[in-house]
Amino acid sequence: MLDVVVIGAGFSGLEAAYSAQQAGLSVAVVEARDRVGGKIWSAPLASGRGYADLGGAWINDSLQPRVWAYVQKFGLGVVKQRLEGRAVMQESQEKRFEFPFGVTPDFSPEEKKNLEYIRDHIQAESLKTGLPSAQVDNVSLDQYVRDLGALPKTAQMVNLWARVMHGLESTEESAAWFIDYCRRNKGLLAIRADDSTGGQHLRFQDGAQSIATEIAKLIGAGNIHLASPVASINDYGSHVGVITRTGKTFLARKCILSVPSTMYKELNITPALPQAVQEVTNNTILGDYNKAIVCYDKPWWREQGFNGYFASYLGPVILARDTSVDERKHYSLTCFVNGLPGRQWSKLPPHERRAVVLKQVAQIFKTDTKSEVFRPIEVFDQIWQHEEFSRGALAPVTALGHLTKYASVYGRPVGNVHFVGTEYSPEWKGYMEGALCSGELGARQVVEAIQRVPAAKL
Ligand SMILES: Cc1cc2nc3c(=O)[nH]c(=O)nc-3n(C[C@H](O)[C@H](O)[C@H](O)COP(=O)(O)OP(=O)(O)OC[C@H]3O[C@@H](n4cnc5c(N)ncnc54)[C@H](O)[C@@H]3O)c2cc1C
């Protein structure tokens, strides 16, 4: 019998397995997909010009120590997010404006003051510690800022934050969930920043998935079972049995479950999870968090003085960045097609999805049909809600009121089953760093639990 069976080979599952192994435990990782990395997936460009990161891409060297330690350990090349040039804001079909990157968009003085007031309020809230109150958990983010006096344009900007950060509308997540997310992630401004103070500072030259591939090598290919979706988990008290859809059975003293909580209800866990755990996990939702990555022969937007960043209230692309890796002659714009516009866009057939993205990019950069915009060399689009083993992104979001009501059970072990995943991380929740942090903590819990109880005799 194994010491630990880990379900899921995303960043949290791999880190949990590797940490447990480092502590001397025997492990098996059981993964549904035929690859490791979960929501980190780097697709090779047909042109050979590197990789397109269809999931997570950005990291920070000074603020995210775990992910950065792996970058150094594995000798991975990184590139700095390019910021030089003008950014664009699309307010409506008719109205767009260009602005120097990093300044508050050019609203009227009253609107600007209002936006800064709400932003500063949330930033101040997000630098506090502990959980926000149940009262704040029972109102949506949208209602919360309106109650604070947000003008329509400010409310629209807050909605853009919710779309960009979580793939949801600000009416769909609680104010407490949003503030707690900011608290765990060094504050609203650090989350939004694209320079060295924030979460979008660096990217990988050869794709973020290289970290997962390298950790998997450390764990050992023989200990990782790909293409093995878990069908059921049985906690027998003395040990756990995990059975896959392919008919394999794994017996272990402990199970670490790294699948996003929204999917626990499909895993046939016996005995059933306690009522409160079911209540909170059955009601978590995942956002519409999609990417369309448009690759070009040359970074034509730079020649026109743009840095490739744009944001839009209109959509379907709500935000885009230059994700080129010049060292690989890879020039791309990564377009986030999130929230409600993303939900609608994801229902279109592939050729229409690509057409609307290209048309919007052309509109944003004020180019015509003869422009380079319409001559991409490769286009990727990735809809995470369509993935059977992800069902959306960024991370599960608890229902209104549940974050505070179920804080004492959410993510806590139940019998021999321990839970990890970026959603539970005290630091950088929703990010690769958070997944690593949660995996490390989950492994520590299991090591301690195993040390407390002598091995069961089967
Ligand atoms: C579009 C997008 C952009 C992002 N941008 C960034 C970014 O720039 N920076 C950043 O740090 N983070 C980013 N993220 C978030 C980051 O990808 C996640 O926080 C992180 O990868 C989550 O890791 P995890 O281990 O918690 O979950 P997951 O990666 O979801 O891992 C869960 C694993 O469980 C497996 N699984 C599911 N069901 C089963 C089953 N029945 N049996 C066996 N295995 C199963 C899955 O296949 C998966 O491998 C982004 C994510 C997306 C989608």
Architecture of domain 42-63+78-83+199-204+289-382: Alpha-Beta Complex (3.90)
pLDDT the model gives residue 194: 87
Token match 């503030």: residue? 179
Contact (CB, 8 A) for 351 and 399: no
421 lines ligand 1 (CB under 6 A): yes
33 lines ligand 1 (CB under 6 A): yes
Kind and range of the H or E element at 250?
Answer: strand 249-257
104-192 has the same fold as 42-63+78-83+199-204+289-382: no
Q: How far is CA 202 from CA 15, 61, 170, 194, in A?
A: 21, 8, 28, 9
Architecture of domain 2-39+209-285+397-452: 3-Layer(bba) Sandwich (3.50)
pLDDT the model gives residue 458: 46
Return the closest-CA partner of residue 457 out of 239, 233, 235, 234: 239
Contact (CB, 8 A) for 401 and 174: yes
Contact (CB, 8 A) for 299 and 339: no
Tell me the binding residues for FAD: 12, 31-32, 230, 423
151 lines ligand 1 (CB under 6 A): no
CATH T-level topology, domain 104-192: Guanine Nucleotide Dissociation Inhibitor; domain 1 (1.10.405)
Return the closest-CA partner of residue 57 out of 240, 318, 247, 322: 322
Q: Helices 175-184 and 152-166 meet at what angle, rounded to 10? A: 60
Number of neighbouring beta carbons within 10 Å of residue 33: 19
As averages over each run of 10 residues, the pLDDT of the chain (458 residues) reads 98 98 98 98 97 98 97 98 94 88 76 95 96 98 98 95 97 98 93 88 97 98 98 98 98 98 98 98 98 98 96 96 97 98 98 97 91 96 97 97 98 98 97 98 97 65
pLDDT tens for residues 364-387? Answer: 999 988 899 999 999 999 999 999
261 lines ligand 1 (CB under 6 A): no
pLDDT the model gives residue 368: 85
**What does the alpha-carbon distance between residue 22 and residue 5 come to, in Å, rounded to a whole number?**
15
Alpha helices, DSSP H, located in 365-423: 402-405
Return the closest-CA partner of residue 397 out of 431, 365, 423, 368: 423
Q: For 76, what's the count of Cα atoms within 13 Å in the CB-facing half-sphere?
A: 26
Return the closest-CA partner of residue 339 out of 190, 172, 104, 111: 172
Tell me the binding residues for substrate: 336
258 lines ligand 1 (CB under 6 A): yes
Contact (CB, 8 A) for 50 and 206: yes
- In the 8-state DSSP scheme, what is residue 351? H
Contact (CB, 8 A) for 82 and 122: no
Cα-to-centroid distance, 435 and ligand 1 (Å): 8
pLDDT the model gives residue 63: 96
The structural domains of the chain, with segments of one domain joined by +, span 2-39+209-285+397-452, 42-63+78-83+199-204+289-382, 104-192
pLDDT the model gives residue 155: 97
Contact (CB, 8 A) for 153 and 89: no
Cα-to-centroid distance, 250 and ligand 1 (Å): 23
**End-to-end Cα, the chain, rounded Å:** 9
